[in-house]
Chains A and B, each alone.
Chain A
Amino acid sequence: MKKTFEHIYLSMIFIFMYAPIAALIVLSFNASKSRSKWGGFTLEWYFNLLSDSEVMDALINTLVIALIATLFATLIGTVTCVAMMGLKRRSRTIIMGITNIPMINADIVTGISLMLLFRAMNISTGFVTVLFAHITFNIPFVMLSVMPRMKEINPSVYEAALDLGASPFTAFTKTVLPDLVPAIISGALMAFTMSLDDFIVTYFTKGSGFDTLSTLIYNEVKRGIQPEIYALSAIIFIVVLLLLLIINRFPKKIKFMHK
């Protein structure tokens, strides 16, 4: 009895989460442009999508920004976490406090504040400003993932390596870094996800003429939704689903979202 009830509850939420996506996928094959009529099966929107340079540019921009921003954020974030261990407690508290600001603050405020900065510095908005903004909100995700692990690592192994004649760099890469790798990866994945999904900060820092997928979709919606967007949603959903299934096949579970 209890089990049946539980299954019904799970199914209901499952339907709430996935029925909308299913509707989008069905519409992406609908030959009729109207959303309320089924005009037969077509792949037209998929072909249109592939030849739509605007969408393809936005897709490439999204991926390039997310990749570069993640790379920089991971590097800066990790180096800072390592450095933090050699700092006084008070400096550490201050640095972590500052790092928490973009995490806690509303995206709209972060976006606006960066826009004001770029305007004041007279930097023309576009790829570079969006990249800087993404690096800024990505660093905290890396640091908040790496810092707890860093604190757990026992320094005596590192010190032993130094005593045995290793250079500080070798000692670090051989003893500390391997223990940090899982935390670094999960931080980087988190940062990458946030970058891909971001709309608000990008919206305020992009200027005109440069779009990521999010901002492009927002513009499209204002103009009226084209069926190509449904095709795009369907593709993104399938890619995400496949990635998830692949990751799930690995023995190590994706822990990064489950902190």
Chain B
Amino acid sequence: MYKKGKTSRLMASPYLAWAFIFILVPLGMIFYYGFTNEAGSFTLQNISYIIQPAYFKSLLLAFELGIVSTVVCFLLAYPLCMILADMKLGHHEFILTLFILPMWMNFLLRTLTWMTLLERKGVLNDILSVLHLPPVYIINTPAAIVIGMVYNFLPFMILPIYNSLSKIDDNVINAARDLGASSFQTFLRVTLPLSVPGIISGITMVFIPALTTFAISSMLGGSKVLLIGNVIEQEFTVAYDWHLGSGLSIILMIFILANMIVSAIADRKENL
């Protein structure tokens, strides 16, 4: 079409070189370290470490918290997006932006906020004591991590769902109503199916960072609650066991890949 052949290849080559050095080679190194031991010979030991109770527990917990956070984000975001998409006001985009504005604040600061609120002598317990209510101890529990994840990742759920909902043609909804569908039926048979692509990308955008986080869990979960992300981080920054750390990273990538395949299948089903 445009610059055929040689020129195009020449123009694409800087990026190809960049992608090779900074994307493919590093990924290859993770696989190299993951499948070798200190002596450099092939082993599956680093991968199989995951079935050891301590490691498996951290993976399982990360999975659980990731799923809980994703579900909570979805349940909060979907009604919100429906209301926003329904508003049809001139400034509904501004209101949408207000809901995702905290995303532009630093990720660490957003998490730190919840540390301050949930601490034993934190803001929340102050408010409770003023109201003569018993204090709650949420910090350093999985619940605190879920709160942190939901707060941080909610905008990632809101954006794609809002986009898919706002694209639905009003005429489709009206047609369903004209043909006698109740508002609940319309939602179930028209609105919900049409928003599936948004839901899928929202789920991916929340679940993957939630599954692999280590900052949120180390700030809000203390040192007792370890997620797979924390374990991997410690292998690299504390234990300096690159082989084991890489092996566990490969496990993580398997889950990311699985999630991608599942969402691709779900996406295709919708498009048929």
Partners in one complex: yes
Chain B 80-127 interface residues, beta-carbon cutoff 8 Å to A? 80, 83, 93-110, 112-117, 119, 121-123, 125-126
Identify the B interface with A (CB < 8 A): 1-5, 7-12, 14-16, 18-19, 21-27, 29-30, 33, 76, 79-80, 83, 93-110, 112-117, 119, 121-123, 125-126, 151, 154, 159, 162-163, 208-209, 211-215, 219, 229, 232-233, 236, 242, 245-246, 249, 252-253, 256, 260
Contact (Cβ within 8 A) A107 B209: yes
In the complex, whether A181 has a CB less than 8 A from a CB of chain B is no
Report the separation of the CA atoms of residues A95 and B14 in the bound assembly, to the nearest whole angstrom.
Answer: 12
Q: How many A-B pairs fall under 8 Å by CB?
A: 236
Find chain A residues with CB under 8 A from B29 CB.
113, 116-117, 120
Report the separation of the CA atoms of residues A29 and B57 in the bound assembly, to the nearest whole angstrom.
Answer: 42
Question: Which residue from A21, A83, A254 sits with its C-beta under 8 Å from B105?
Answer: A21
Contact (Cβ within 8 A) A139 B18: yes
Contact (Cβ within 8 A) A214 B108: yes
Question: Which residue from A35, A113, A199, A233 sits with its C-beta under 8 Å from B26?
Answer: A113
Identify the A interface with B (CB < 8 A): 6, 9-10, 13-14, 16-18, 20-21, 23-24, 27, 34-36, 76-77, 79-80, 82-87, 95, 98-99, 101-102, 104-110, 112-117, 120, 132-133, 135-136, 139, 155, 158, 168, 172, 176, 193, 196-200, 203-204, 213-214, 217-218, 221, 225, 229-230, 232-233, 236-237, 240-241, 244, 248, 253-254, 257-259
Question: Which residue from A104, A217, A241 sits with its C-beta under 8 Å from B108?
Answer: A217
Report the separation of the CA atoms of residues A229 and B21 in the bound assembly, to the nearest whole angstrom.
Answer: 37
Q: What does DSSP make chain A's interface, helix, strand, loop or mixed?
A: helix
Report the separation of the CA atoms of residues A28 and B1 in the bound assembly, to the nearest whole angstrom.
Answer: 58
With A113-B30, A120-B29 as given contacts, are A85 and B1 in contact (CB-CB < 8 Å)? yes
Contact (Cβ within 8 A) A221 B115: yes
